[in-house]
């Protein structure tokens, strides 16, 4: 080493003394506080440097690894499926018309039964069920064969069939008149 040029590490240490001046009084606790704060600052700087180096290494390894897979081609395949829309099965309108005409024909002969409260209540239920069935039919045409709609339609048809049977039983009961 050349005597005219001071050691660089010594020069850095002298400069760092200028950054944080030592207290004028040489109280031992204050002196240790200054030393520990400098050590904390240096350890923090080291941690930041190590973290930065680790991040660069991770990015470099990741970039290298991803460049190895560049030769592969990614192929996305798809296909279209054409589905024929099946119109929902509904009871034929002519069977409903036949039931209505049969009921009216029997009611012509038995006017007292057809005006009874029990008959009128059943007929009102039948009309309500018919309206609900028509609404379900419209929804099935709009939304397709939805399971919930099909189940609701089947329940309505079951109840309506039961009501139709009761109506015909009432009208057919009193054949003596």
Secondary structure, 3-state, 66-120: HHHCCCCCCCCCCCCCCCCCCCCCCCCHHHHHHHHHHHHHHHHHCHHHHCCHHHH
Q: Would you give the distance in Å from CA 140 to the centre of its chain?
A: 24
Between the CA of residue 14 and those of 9, 30, 31, 39, 40, what are the distances in Å?
Answer: 9, 20, 17, 16, 19
8 Å CB contact between 41 and 63: no
Neighbours of 150 (CB within 10 A): 15
b/e code 26-63 from CB counts within 10 Å (16+ = b): eeeeeeeeeeeeeeeeeeeeeeeeeeeeeeeeeeeeee
pLDDT per residue as tens, the chain (177 positions): 455 555 777 777 766 666 655 555 567 787 788 888 888 888 889 999 999 999 999 999 988 877 776 556 677 787 777 666 555 455 556 677 788 888 888 888 777 888 888 888 988 898 898 888 888 888 888 888 888 888 888 998 899 889 888 888 888 754 444
Compute the distance between CA of residue 113 and CA of residue 58 in angstroms, rounded to an integer.
91
Compute the distance between CA of residue 103 and CA of residue 165 in angstroms, rounded to an integer.
11
**Is the pTM of the predicted complex or chain greater than 0.75?**
no
Of how many residues is the chain composed? Answer: 177
Residue in 170, 165, 160, 176 with CA at minimum distance from that of residue 115? 170
């Amino acid at each position: 080493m050349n005597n005219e040029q001071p050691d660089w590490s010594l020069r850095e240490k002298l400069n760092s003394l200028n950054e944080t001046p030592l207290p004028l009084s040489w109280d031992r606790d204050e002196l240790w506080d200054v030393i520990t704060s400098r050590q904390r600052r240096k350890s923090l700087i080291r941690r930041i440097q190590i973290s930065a180096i680790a991040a660069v290494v991770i990015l470099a390894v990741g970039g290298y690894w991803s460049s190895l897979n560049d030769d592969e081609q990614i192929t996305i395949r798809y296909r279209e499926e054409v589905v024929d829309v099946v119109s929902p099965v509904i009871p034929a309108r002519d069977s409903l018309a036949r039931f209505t005409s049969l009921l009216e024909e029997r009611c012509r002969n038995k006017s007292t039964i057809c005006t009874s409260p029990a008959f009128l209540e059943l007929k009102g239920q039948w009309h309500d069920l018919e309206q609900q069935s028509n609404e379900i039919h419209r929804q099935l045409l709009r939304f397709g064969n939805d399971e919930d709609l099909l189940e609701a339609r089947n329940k309505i048809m079951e109840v309506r069939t039961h009501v139709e049977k009761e109506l015909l039983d009432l009208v057919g009961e009193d054949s003596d008149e």
